[in-house]
């Protein structure tokens, strides 16, 4: 049996560019791709915290250290510069892989500073 699980997440990153006339994709700071384990050309889901839009695209490598999140092509209609987004990648895992499964999550502070990383989401309290 296989399960689709959250592989990686960039939580509340700020959109730095929205480029309509660019081949569709989302450019992400290369350092963040490496830290999160998201691969270039991997399918990602983007959830816009500010306007509620949810859409699918793929990741491309942005300049290392640039703090770039560039939503490109048609998706640029769904995010504006300054919007806060959650970027997620999912993957299929076998039952054996799930025994030691931990997602990679990067949490962003204002200005796209990396606040901290984690491999677990705290239990939501009532």
- Name 93's Cβ contacts closer than 8 Å, sequence gap at least 6: 2, 3, 4, 5, 101
41 is catalytic: no
The alpha carbon torsion through 50, 55, 59, 64 (nearest 10 deg) reads 0
d(CA 16, CA 82): 6
> Could you tell me which of 90, 79, 107 has the C-alpha nearest to residue 17?
79
66 is catalytic: no
Annotated binding-site residues for substrate read 57, 73-75
**Which of 22, 36, 47, 58 does the annotation list as catalytic?**
58
d(CA 27, CA 75): 12
Annotated binding-site residues read 57, 73-75
Cβ burial of 71 (10 Å; 0-12, 13-18, 19+) is buried
Residues with a known catalytic role:
25, 58
């Amino acid at each position: 049996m296989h399960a689709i699980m959250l592989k990686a997440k960039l939580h509340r990153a700020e959109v730095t560019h929205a480029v309509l006339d660019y081949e569709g994709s989302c450019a992400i700071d290369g350092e963040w791709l490496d830290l999160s384990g998201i691969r270039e050309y991997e399918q990602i889901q983007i959830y816009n915290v500010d306007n509620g839009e949810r859409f699918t695209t793929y990741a491309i490598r942005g300049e290392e250290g640039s703090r770039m999140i560039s939503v490109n092509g048609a998706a640029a209609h769904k995010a504006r510069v300054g919007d806060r987004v959650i970027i997620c990648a999912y993957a299929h895992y076998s039952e054996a892989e799930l025994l030691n499964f931990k997602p990679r999550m990067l949490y962003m502070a204002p200005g796209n500073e990396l606040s901290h990383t984690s491999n677990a989401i705290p239990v939501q309290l009532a």
